Chain A
Amino acid sequence: MAEVARPVEAGAQAAGAVRVAAAAKDALLAALVAGFLAVPILAYRTIDGQTSLELVERWPLVALAVGSVFAGRLLLNLYWSAEHVPGAGAFAAGLAPLRFALGGLGRYLGPIVVALAFALPFMPFSNRYIMDLGILVLTYVMLGWGLNVVVGLAGLLDLGYVAFYAVGAYSYALLSQHLGLSFWICLPLAGILAAFWGILLGFPVLRLRGDYLAIVTLAFGEIIRIILVNWQPVTGGPNGLSGISRPSFFGLEFKADCEPGTFCGFFGVAHSPLYRIVFLYYIILVLALVTNFVTIRLRRLPVGRAWEALREDEVACRSLGINTVNTKLTAFAIGAMFAGIAGSFFATKQGFISPESFVFMESAIILAIVVLGGMGSQMGIAAAALAMTAGVELFREFELYRMLVFGIAMVLMMIWRPRGLVGSRTPSIALKDRKAISSDLVKEGHG
C-alpha cells in the first residue's frame, strides 16, 4: 500500500509545486499591471507650495499597492483557484431562486407590488422625499416599459429614446401655454405627436441594422435636443419653458388660497403641497400600469408576435408575408407614444422644462434599465428601474463612490447575468403549460 501511495504523493507534491509556481507567476503579472497603474496615479502628488506647485513623491504608497496586489492575487490563486470557484457557483445558485421568483412567481409578485405601490402614500414612513422618489422611479418604470417595446420585443436598438420624451414634454408645455388646453386633453395629444415623430424616425432607419441603427437613433436624439436649444422663439432655447400649468383634480385646482374651486376648498381640508404630490404619484402610477397592460396585451396580439418574430429572424418574417416595414414602424410609434405620455407628465410635474432634461445620459439610463431588467420582461424592468433610480439615490451619501459602485455592479451583471435580471422569455401563448424559454435561444435582434 505504502509503495503505491508514495508515487501518488510525489505526484501530488509535484503538482502542488507547479500550481504554486503558476500562481506566483500570475500574481507577479498582476503586480506588474498594478505597478503600471500605480506609478502615474499614486507616485506623485502635486500640492500648492508657498511659491509654486510642488511635487511630493509617494513611492512607499506605490510599493504598498503593488505589494498588496501581489499578495492578494497570490492568496486568491492558491486558496480560491479556478478548479473550485465557490463564489461563482454559489452566486449563480443564489440567483436561481430570485430568477424563479421574478419570472415564475411573477403572477403573485406583480399584484403584491402593485398593491404596495398604491398603498405607499398612506404608509407611516411616507413623506415628501419618498413621494418624490416614487414619482421618479415610476417615471423611469414607464419609460423602461415603453422602450422595451422597441428594444426588448422588436429588437431595434434605440439610443435616442429621450427625444420622444422631450417631444411629449414640449408638446404639453406648448399646447397648454398657447391653446390653453388642459393636461388631460394634452396627454393623449402628446402621445400621438410623439408617435408621429417615432414614425418619422422609423422611415430613415428601416434599412439599418445593429450599430448603424444605434448611431442614427443617437443622432436623432441629439437633433431634437439641438432644435430645442436653438429654436428660441418657440422653445425658449436653453432657458426652457416655465409656468407650465399643473393638472387639476377633476377640475379642482391645488391652490393655497382654499377658494371654492380648489381642492382644499372643496374638501374642506387644510392646504398642503403634499396633496398635489400624492395626486401626481397616482397619475404616474396609473399611466405606468396602463403602459404595462397595453404592452402585455399587445404581446399576445398578432402585432406583438410579429415584433418578436422580427427580433428572431427578419428574413423568415418576410417569407411568411409579414410587412416588416409596418411592423417596425408600429414598434417605433408605440414605444414613442409611451415616452411622449411620460414626457407630458414630466412637464406638468416639474412646471418647468429645458433641453437640459433631455440629454443623451437619459437615453442611456433608460436603455440600461431595459438591458438590466432582461429584455422583454416587464417585472425585471420594473426591478431594474427601481435599482437604477432609487438605488442611485440611496448612494447619494457616498457621492464619490457612487459611479464606482454602479460600474462594478454593471460589470458583475454582465458576467453573471448577461441577459438581465430575468434572463428567460415567457411564451405569449401556450397549449398546455407555459414554459420559460432559456435566453440562450432567444435572439437579441440585429436592429
Chain B
Amino acid sequence: MTAPAAATDLPVLKVDHLTMRFGGLVAVDDVSFAARPGDITALIGPNGAGKTTVFNCLTGFYKPSVGMITMTRRNGSRFLLERLDDFRINQYAGVARTFQNIRLFPGMTCLENLLVSQHNTLMKASGFTFAGLIGLASYRAAEKAAIDRACHWLEKVALIDRADDAAGDLSYGDQRRLEIARAMCTGPELLCLDEPAAGLNPRESQELNALLLAIRKEEGISILLIEHDMGVVMGISDRIVVLDYGRKIADGTPAEVRADQAVIAAYLGVADDEVAAAEAEIAQ
C-alpha cells in the first residue's frame, strides 16, 4: 500500500469500470481511465467506438449502467458525476463541454451566448431576478464584470469584432471557437471538447491547437478531447486513450499509442496472412 497521494496529484477525472448499455447494445464496456490535472487527454477510436457515449456519461446526458466517475476539483472537493444532474455537473463539478454538432444559440448574438453561459453567477448577483428587476447597483456591477469576461474570451478566440452578430451568422470555424469560448465562460476546471477540429481546414486546426495550449497554460485547466484529426491529437495531447467497439484497447503517451499493435489493427486493419492464420486457428 502506498501512502495516499496529495490532493494535487489526484487525477482530476477518474473513470472506473464505466459501462453503458442501450438495451442489448453495449456502447461502452468496462472502460477505466484517468485524466491528470493540467493534462490534455485525448479520447480516440474509430467511428462508433463509444467516445461520445463516454462524454455523454461524463456530462450527465446519460446515466451510466455501471461505473463510477470521480471529478476532483482544485480545492480538493470531489464529485461523483454519475450521481449529479446534468446541469449541476457544470454548476458544481466544473465540467464544461462542447458538442460534436455545434450547439450554439443561433438567434442570439455572440455576446449574449457568452452571457447565458455565466447564468449561475449572474443569477446569484441579480438576487434571483428580484434585485435585478429593481436595478440594484450590485447587479449592474456584476453584469459589467460578466460582459468584461465575455469580451476577454471573445478576444481570445478572435471574435470580438463580431460580438453583436448573431451566432448563427458566423462561419463554421468561428462557431466552433465561439462554442469553446462559451464553455470557458462557465469557469470550468475540466473542458470536454467533442471533435473540436471537425470541419476545420489545416490552418484552422493549427490555430485551434494554439488556442487549446494557451487555454491550458493560462487557465491551468485540464482538457479532455475527442478527435479524429491526428494532427491535433498527436500535436497537443499528453495522454491518449484509445477505444474500439466500446472497449479500451490502449492508454499512454502519443508515442506509445502510435506504436501500439492493437491501435494499428483497429485503425488500419490487420494483414491478410494474419487473418488467414486466425481463420485457420478457428477452423481447428
Contacts and interface: CB of A to CB of B under 8 A. Distances in A.
Interface of A: 294, 297-298, 301-303, 305-306, 308-309, 311-313, 315-324, 330, 425, 427-435, 437-438, 440-443
A320 B111 contact: no
Contact of B109 (A323, A437, A443): A437
B99 A316 contact: yes
A323 B60 CA distance: 13
Contacts of A443: 106-107
B177 to A, nearest CB: 16
A427 B96 contact: no
Given A301-B129, A427-B108, 7 more contacts: A302-B118, A305-B108, A309-B116, A316-B103, A330-B129, A429-B111, A437-B108
Given A430-B109, A432-B164, A438-B166, A305 B129 contact: no
Given A319-B96, A429-B111, A305 B59 contact: no
Contacts of B108: 305, 308-309, 312, 427, 437
A320 B166 contact: no
Given A315-B103, A320-B90, A321-B186, A430 B126 contact: no
A308 B105 contact: yes
A305 B115 contact: yes
Contacts of A321: 87-91, 117, 119-120, 186
A412 to B, nearest CB: 25
A301 B132 contact: yes
B87 A323 contact: yes
Give 8 closest A-B pairs by Cβ, nearest first.
A442-B107, A321-B90, A441-B168, A312-B105, A321-B91, A302-B122, A316-B103, A431-B163
Given A309-B116, A320-B96, A427-B108, A432 B169 contact: no
A315 B123 contact: no
A322 B87 contact: yes
A103 to B, nearest CB: 15
A313 to B, nearest CB: 5
A265 B118 CA distance: 58
Contacts of B119: 302, 305-306, 309, 320-322
B63 interface: no
B116 A306 contact: yes
A317 B165 CA distance: 20
Interface of B: 59-61, 86-91, 96-97, 99, 103-109, 111-112, 115-120, 122-123, 126, 129, 132-133, 147, 151, 163-166, 168-169, 182-183, 186
Contacts of A430: 109, 111, 164
Contacts of B99: 315-316, 319
Contact of B164 (A294, A330, A434): A434
A438 B132 CA distance: 28
Contacts of B115: 302, 305, 429
Contact of A301 (B109, B133, B147): B133
Nearest to A376: B107
Contact of A320 (B126, B147, B169, B186): B186
B106 A441 contact: yes
B164 A313 contact: no
Contacts of B166: 435, 437-438, 441
Given A312-B105, A320-B182, A428 B112 contact: yes
Contacts of B88: 321
A88 B165 CA distance: 29
B67 to A, nearest CB: 21
Contacts of B96: 319-320
B105 A313 contact: yes
Contacts of B117: 320-321
Contacts of A432: 163-164
Contacts of B123: 302-303, 306
Contacts of A425: 107
Given A298-B133, A319-B86, A305 B116 contact: yes
Nearest to A438: B166
A434 B133 CA distance: 22
Contacts of B59: 319
B231 to A, nearest CB: 27
9 contacts: A301-B132, A302-B126, A305-B116, A309-B105, A309-B116, A321-B120, A322-B120, A431-B151, A442-B106
Contacts of B112: 305, 308, 427-429
B107 A431 contact: no
Contact of A312 (B90, B107, B126): B107
A431 B147 CA distance: 9
Contacts of A313: 103-105
A359 B124 CA distance: 40
Contacts of A437: 107-109, 166
A435 B126 contact: no
Most buried by B among A303, A306, A320, A435: A320
Contacts of A438: 166
Given A312-B106, A442-B107, A443-B106, A319 B164 contact: no
Nearest to B106: A441
B127 to A, nearest CB: 10
A99 B117 CA distance: 31
Contacts of A433: 164
B176 to A, nearest CB: 14
A428 B115 CA distance: 11
B159 to A, nearest CB: 11
Contact of A316 (B60, B105, B132, B151): B105
A430 B166 CA distance: 11
A249 B117 CA distance: 47
B186 A427 contact: no
A298 B129 CA distance: 8
A297 B140 CA distance: 13
A313 B167 CA distance: 13
A306 B118 CA distance: 10
Contacts of A311: 107
Nearest to A441: B168
A64 B41 CA distance: 79
A273 B11 CA distance: 78
Contacts of B86: 318-319
B129 A319 contact: no
